[in-house]
Structures are given as C-alpha cells and as structure tokens.
Chain A
C-alpha cells in the first residue's frame, strides 16, 4: 500500500486501533457490532462512531442530539403555546403526526431561500459570523461528560464550559455590528447590556456549585450528588433558572430580539439559511446551559441503570433530562410579557446579583459542611 510515499494502511490501522481501544460497550448491540467489525471498510466507520470521544461530541449529547432537540423544541414550544392560547398550533405538515416535522419543513424552506446580503453590510463578517458562532456552541460539548462518554476529560470542565457559553453573546454583538443597520445596532447594544446583567450572577451561581462539590470536575459533581444539587444550594438553582431565561432571550427578558420593537434586533437583516442559523443560536445556548444545569442540580446522568444498554444509558439520561427541563421552561413564553431593558438590567444588577452572592456564601457553607 506504499503508493505515494505514505504508509496509508499503517495510518489506517493505527487509527483503527485507537478507535477500537476506547469503544462504547453496549451489550444489546454486541452481536451486530461484532458482525460489522468483521467487514473491512465498515469496521473503521463503526469503530469511529462508537469511539467514546467521537460519540460524545458528534452523536449524544453532542451534535446529533442538538439537532434532534432543535427539531423537537421548536415544534413543542409552538404546540404548548397554542394549547395555552385556545389554538391548535402547527398541524398541516405531516397531518398524521399532528405537524411534528414542522421545524424540519421550516429548516428546508430556509435552506432554499435566497440569502440577501444588503449593500450596507460588512459582507465578510455578515456571512461568516452565523457559521463561526457554532464554535462556542460546539466546543463546550467536548467537555460536557455523560458517564463513560466524554470528548476531553478534564478537571476544569465546569469553568471551561461556562467560559465558552459566555463567548456566545460576543458573536451576537458582532453579528449586529456587521449588519450595520439601526435596529441591529440597537439590538446589539441591548444584547451587550443584558450580557453584563446576567453574566456575573451566572458565573457566581456556577462557582457556588464548585464550592459545594469541592471541584470543577463534572464527574465529581455527579458523584457527590447523593442529594441532588437543587437541595444542596436552592439559591443557586433559582439564580441559574432565571439566568437561563435571560441568557437565551426567553420571554420576560426577550429584549435584544424584541420583534415588535426592533424587529429581531441583531438578526434583522438576515434571510434564508443564515437567518435559520442565527435564529437557533438562542436555542442551542439553552441546550448547553440546560445540560450543565442537569449535571449541576439534577444529578446529571445518574439515577437510571439499564445493564442491557451499557454505556449508552448515561448520554441518553442526560439528554432526556435536559430536554424535559427545557420543555418545562418554554411555557414562560405563553405566560409573560416582555420587560423593558432598564427594568431587566435593574433586576439583573440588584435582585439577581444579590441572590447570586447569597448563593455563593450559602455554597461555601455547604461545601465546608460536606
């Protein structure tokens, strides 16, 4: 196989051995996997997919899980709001499934729509930033563990994840700047103001949980939760819950994107698939934050044991818990009106900040007791 001076076969077998050494153990699928591993080219693909770091980042709870979650939550949010509002909600796309693939249909429509780049836009950044904004979305997924499935195992997983989540608003502000329009500018400013209002309580709530568990390692956090974190530090739980709403522009705090006031703010000039990408940005952020939320407060992936599924249980449990948390959270859209910017900032800097400091002190005390 020494065709172009590089030992391709050697590299392939080297990679294959790496993949094979760290594969997912699923007793239920063992006969199938064993059979597939006997077929030459296919075994490489199977080994790659079941390689634990790859599985964690790309399949569950990573990219594929993220896409599944997006399809579900957009549909579910609309359906739930419709139920509250004496309506039916999306129903025409796939009538037998009660419109269940509405989000997919919307995605396809966005994909084939024309992307208009207006003359005033800063074209390179305007086109690149929606795609670049996937970096802070996907990087934390490498550090969020789910049992035996983890991209990169590090004791600094929690600080790293929080840091990457905090990067996302920078991209939103940059998007608004590149759009170069009045409403996008106002939206960016609002995003920046909101960013400072919720970021410090968010970091303080996360740090208070580090004190409770004595480590930034998410494995330690899950191991120590014989009592779930929601009871260990309820103050941090409340702060984190409100911060999730503020950070992802959920309704009482849907201020940067206020469509009645500034027509989706930073995203006003986008169309087609680029609008599709920026629109789901907040949902993706919500997914990341709720994964962290489940690990910190709701016992993470522990609690369920199915021997037949082996290593697959932990990512599944984590994913399902996160989706359930978000599905409960989206009802606020049907209940609350939008706060004004100054009211939200005042709330963030006074009540929420005070509560997060209290939660930090409470966390230190609990950590000291444990």
Chain B
C-alpha cells in the first residue's frame, strides 16, 4: 500500500489484509486468527505491553462491540530466567535472587526457599527466629496488598486511592529498614534462622506502626472502599463461581474470594502460624469487589498476627546451633558457615502462602555440588493467570482494567 494512493482520495479505506509491515511484528497468535477477526465484525485490541499497570504484559483482546469475547495473554516481557540463573549460584547466593519476582513480598519468597534448604538439612529453627520470620512475612503481605490496592485504584482512575496506600506502605518499608536494613528486598532470612536479632525498641516500633497503619487505612476506606463509583465498577464484574475458581486453579485470596476456604498457613502451618489466633478471610460473592475486599480484610488479620507475635516473642538465639555458635548474629561468618552447604541428594518441595497465593519451590540436589541441580519456582501469578483470563470473558472493555486490578496481577512475579 503506497503512501500517495492512500491520500489521494478522501474516502475511508478498510484494510481487510493486514499491512505488509505488520507481518513482521510478532504476535503470538496465528495470522489466520487475526485475518478471521478482521473479516468478521469483531475488533482486535492489543492492550500493552506498556500500560499503566504493574510491569509489562500484553493482552490480545477480541472485542465484539464493547463486549470481550476472548483474551489471549502474552506474558514473558519481564522473564529473567530465574530458574536457570539459580543453577549457577550457591544455595546462599540464590536468596537475593529468589526474592526478586515480587519485590514487596520478598520475605515470603525468601522464606519458602529457605525452608526448602532447612527441610533438606533437617535444621531446627530457634523459636525467636520463627516469630521474627512470621512478622516479616506478614509485613510483606500487608505491603503487597497495599501495593495491589493502589494499582487497582489507578486502573479505575482514582488517583487518591493510589496515593494513600503508597503512603501507608512507607510505614512497612520503614519497619523493614529498622528490622533488616533494606526497604524492600531484605534477604534477611537465612537457613537456620535470621541474619541478626531484632532489638526490643524496633519491635516496639513495629507494634506501634500496626496501629498507625490501621488508623491511616480509615480515610482510604472512606474515600475508596466505600466509594459508590468504585462499588459500581467492581461489583458483579469478572465473576468466577466456586467451581470455576477450583477448575481454573486459582490460588490465595482470589480462591478465598470465590468461597473456598483454603490457606496454606492453616492447612500446612509453617513457622508459628498454628499457635496464633487468626481467621481465614473468605467471601462468597466471587466478583472483583470481593476479591479486593478479601485482601483488605487480610491486612487487618495480618496486623493482628504481627501484634500477637510481638507480644508472644520469646527470648533466645535466632540462629540454629547447627549453623553457628553465635546465636545472635551471622555477620562475619555467613560465607564460612553457609557458602559450601551441600544438600543431600533428593527433591525438596515447600508450599508457602505468599501475598498473592500459594508459592511452590522445588529444590533438586544431586548430593555432590554446592549448586542446586534444579530450582523450580511456581509463583501464584502464573497459577491464577488462567482464571484471570477466564473471568474477563463477557465483560466490557472498560472492565478489563477493573478485573486486572482486582487480581493484582504482577507480571514480574508471573514471568520470573
């Protein structure tokens, strides 16, 4: 199609054939499918890879009028080959690596990996370390839920709903800084405990911060959660029934929002979750609003857990005797003690409840090398992608953003 003959006549030209330049662009669907859509009354819209959500991902949306008929995801724009990278690093060097998929949720990712090593080496973790790990994991969960709430708000065009959670999240970051020394990717949990003991005054700060978070969530609740426009946008949108949610393999808060009472922290308790008093948040309404509300209520459950942990935390060492004689700090001997760890031959799998759902680590060791033979990470984002795509069907184009936000889909997490 030359330039001149297109402009000479002022008439609308409908290009039934895809333009020749477009053929060179990569779209992960057969060109026949594209041509079929061009010939029918449907409309193909490519959402992304750049869009105002979190990370990069392309959605190929087939529209009939304003109604979504089919959505084909094109993930992988932020794939970093994490599993392959892990095969060339020692077990201890992998800790900062495996935290990277979901930066705000780093403690949960850290915890799952470290527990796989501890399973293999049969290390008993001291009580105080278990409590500290639980506090960190729950702080990470609150941070992630706030982050997702902010992204949902900006998807709905609500800029105040975006700013408030990010401002509240600063308290989580500050708690991380005081406990571990880093704002997001803390790398604080090591096989056999945590890097160093957390002093009493810092735990006091975290305890106070939980109340401050609760106080600051009130205006957010007023302006965003109970906002009639937000309710109108999310209620009865992207509904997934209980059966569908199980069939498409949803995980975490999204599964619980569809009425399935499943939480790894209750089913296979790790750390000190079985000793604490908290509830699984479940909703039966199955739509986007309740997917969001379940996570809002999980924030208050997490705050409850953190307060209990800080009240109950025992004195004592934070690093197991099997790792170090000094039970209070690993500094100066981290590499001496842990760099040449060799796992016994076998396959070790752990299941962790990360903020967005079940996180699976499988560590395969050949029993000779100090590098893992294979590390398999299955992130919650990857698990609920199918359910996310199914829930989009039948919605309107404007619902795509609302459902995207309600799932808190985070491409770096899913792509690893």
A positions within 8 Å CB-CB of B:
81, 84-87, 119, 122-123, 182-183, 186, 251-252, 254-255, 258-262, 333-343
Contacts and interface: CB of A to CB of B under 8 A. Distances in A.
B160 A334 contact: yes
A254 B399 CA distance: 15
Interface stretch (B71-79, B140-148, B227-235, B285-293): B227-235
12 contacts: A84-B160, A87-B163, A119-B3, A260-B157, A335-B160, A335-B223, A337-B153, A337-B158, A337-B224, A337-B230, A340-B396, A342-B396
B157 A254 contact: yes
B7 A261 contact: no
Contact of A86 (B43, B161, B167): B167
Contact of B229 (A86, A122, A252, A341): A252
A190 to B, nearest CB: 9
The 5 closest A-B CB pairs, nearest first, are A338-B157, A85-B163, A337-B158, A337-B156, A337-B229
A339 B229 contact: yes
A342 B167 CA distance: 33
Contact of B398 (A86, A334, A340): A340
A340 B160 contact: no
Contacts of A340: 232-233, 396, 398-399
Contacts of A186: 45, 397
Interface in B229-266: 229-230, 232-233
Contact of B159 (A119, A183, A334, A339): A334
Interface in B41-77: 43, 45, 51-52, 66
Given A81-B159, A85-B160, A341 B398 contact: yes
B116 to A, nearest CB: 39
Given A258-B157, A337-B153, 20 more contacts: A85-B159, A85-B160, A123-B7, A183-B45, A186-B45, A260-B157, A260-B401, A261-B397, A261-B398, A261-B401, A335-B223, A337-B156, A337-B157, A337-B224, A338-B398, A339-B229, A340-B232, A340-B233, A341-B398, A343-B232
B334 to A, nearest CB: 40
Nearest to B161: A337
Contacts of B399: 340
A43 to B, nearest CB: 49
B50 to A, nearest CB: 9
Given A85-B164, A86-B164, A259-B52, A341 B157 contact: no
Nearest to B3: A119
Contacts of B158: 336-338
Contacts of B52: 259-260
Residue among A260, A339, A342, A343 facing the most chain B CB atoms (10 A cut-off): A260
Residue among A183, A258, A340 facing the most chain B CB atoms (10 A cut-off): A340
A362 to B, nearest CB: 26
A122 B399 CA distance: 31
A258 B164 contact: no
Interface in B363-416: 396-401
Contacts of A336: 158, 227, 229
Nearest to A253: B229
A260 B45 CA distance: 14
Contacts of A258: 157, 398
A69 B51 CA distance: 32
B154 interface: yes
Nearest to B152: A337
B47 to A, nearest CB: 9
Residue among A84, A261, A342 facing the most chain B CB atoms (10 A cut-off): A261
B155 interface: yes
B232 A339 contact: yes
B186 to A, nearest CB: 26
Nearest to B43: A182
Nearest to A341: B398
A111 to B, nearest CB: 26
A34 B223 CA distance: 58
A252 B157 CA distance: 9
A260 B53 CA distance: 8
B233 A341 contact: no
A338 B396 contact: no
Nearest to A180: B12
Contacts of B51: 260
Contacts of B161: 337
Nearest to B65: A189
Residue among B52, B153, B227, B398 facing the most chain A CB atoms (10 A cut-off): B398
B348 to A, nearest CB: 42
Contacts of A183: 45
Contacts of B160: 81, 84-85, 334-335
B189 to A, nearest CB: 32
Contacts of A252: 229
B155 A333 contact: no
A135 B400 CA distance: 37
A56 B55 CA distance: 51
A244 B154 CA distance: 23
Contacts of B167: 86
Contacts of B400: 261
A124 to B, nearest CB: 9
A314 B316 CA distance: 79
Contacts of B154: 260
A255 B401 CA distance: 13
A86 B160 CA distance: 9
Contacts of B157: 251, 254, 258-260, 337-338
Contacts of A261: 397-398, 400-401
Contacts of B156: 260, 337-338
B229 to A, nearest CB: 4
Given A254-B157, A258-B157, A338 B66 contact: no
Contacts of B10: 122
Nearest to A182: B45
Contacts of A122: 10
Contacts of A259: 52, 157
A351 to B, nearest CB: 13
A337 B292 CA distance: 15
A343 B229 CA distance: 10
Interface in B255-309: none
A352 B160 CA distance: 27
Contacts of A119: 3
Contacts of A85: 159-160, 163-164
B171 to A, nearest CB: 13
B282 to A, nearest CB: 26
A120 to B, nearest CB: 9
A247 to B, nearest CB: 18
Nearest to B395: A340
Interface in B144-192: 153-161, 163-164, 167
A346 to B, nearest CB: 10
Contacts of B159: 81, 85, 333-334
A122 B397 CA distance: 26
